């Protein structure tokens, strides 16, 4: 593994400031005492850059193979769903999220998997937008909230994030 900020490279679509604003406001409205924070891991807490990860676990730091695979793919369309939660019994927190629906992210996920060496970090690809990491058991009260349901988003590029934190916008 190359030294860097992250163990693996990844790809994601990042919401524009306008599209992110309602999610950021919602995250900010969650009570402080339900938010899980860890001084050793600043990525926990409230999400400050709403995005949908397409593939995490890419072994290369080079964006070129991914860019080549995505050439001419066209825009990605997705639709937001209800609030949901990821729970891992080995973690002291739950991930409060907005479900994301649409075939485009699955199609792009598969294309990237064929273009770059990677390792599976999750058994099933489940597109979502993380809202916040909350203390174990406290996310259940928000599950099913439909405030974002039906909102559609379109992306004409995605971000390749290398292990050293360098970001490359790749047109679709």
Q: What pLDDT was estimated at residue 4?
A: 60
DSSP-assigned letter for residue 41: B
Structure tokens at 34: 């339900």
Name which of 142, 31, 56, 32 is nearest 95 in CA terms: 142
**Each residue's pLDDT tens digit, 48-92:** 999 999 998 898 888 999 999 998 899 999 999 999 999 999 999
| β-bridge partners, 101 | 79
Name which of 46, 54, 56 is nearest 23 in CA terms: 46
Q: What pLDDT was estimated at residue 45?
A: 96
Q: What pLDDT was estimated at residue 57?
A: 87
Q: Is the pLDDT of residue 36 over 50?
A: yes
Mean pLDDT of the chain, nearest integer: 92
pTM flag (> 0.85): yes
**Each residue's pLDDT tens digit, 93-114:** 999 999 999 999 999 999 998 8
Q: What pLDDT was estimated at residue 38?
A: 93
Q: What pLDDT was estimated at residue 18?
A: 97
Q: Using alpha carbons only, give the angle 29, 30, 36 rounded to the nearest 5 degrees.
A: 140
Long-range CB contacts (within 8 A, 24+) of 3-7: 4/61, 4/162, 4/163, 4/164, 4/165, 5/163, 5/164, 5/165, 6/161, 6/162, 6/163, 6/165, 7/163
Q: Which residues contact 143 (CB under 8 A, 6 or more apart)?
A: 82, 83, 84, 85
């Amino acid at each position: 593994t190359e030294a860097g900020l992250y163990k693996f490279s990844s790809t994601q679509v990042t919401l524009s400031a306008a599209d992110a604003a309602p999610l950021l406001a919602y995250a900010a409205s969650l009570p402080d005492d339900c938010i899980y924070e860890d001084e050793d891991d600043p990525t926990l807490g409230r999400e400050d850059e709403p995005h949908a990860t397409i593939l995490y676990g890419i072994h290369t730091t080079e964006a070129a193979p991914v860019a080549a695979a995505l050439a001419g793919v066209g825009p990605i369309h997705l639709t937001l769903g209800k609030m949901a939660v990821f729970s891992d019994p080995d973690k002291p927190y739950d991930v409060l999220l907005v479900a994301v629906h649409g075939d485009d992210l699955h199609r792009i996920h598969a294309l990237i998997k064929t273009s770059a060496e990677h390792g599976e970090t999750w058994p099933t690809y489940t597109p979502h937008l993380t809202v916040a990491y909350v203390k174990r058991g406290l996310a259940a009260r928000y599950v099913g909230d439909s405030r974002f349901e039906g909102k559609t988003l379109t992306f004409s590029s995605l971000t390749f994030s290398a292990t050293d934190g360098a970001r490359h916008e790749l047109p679709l």
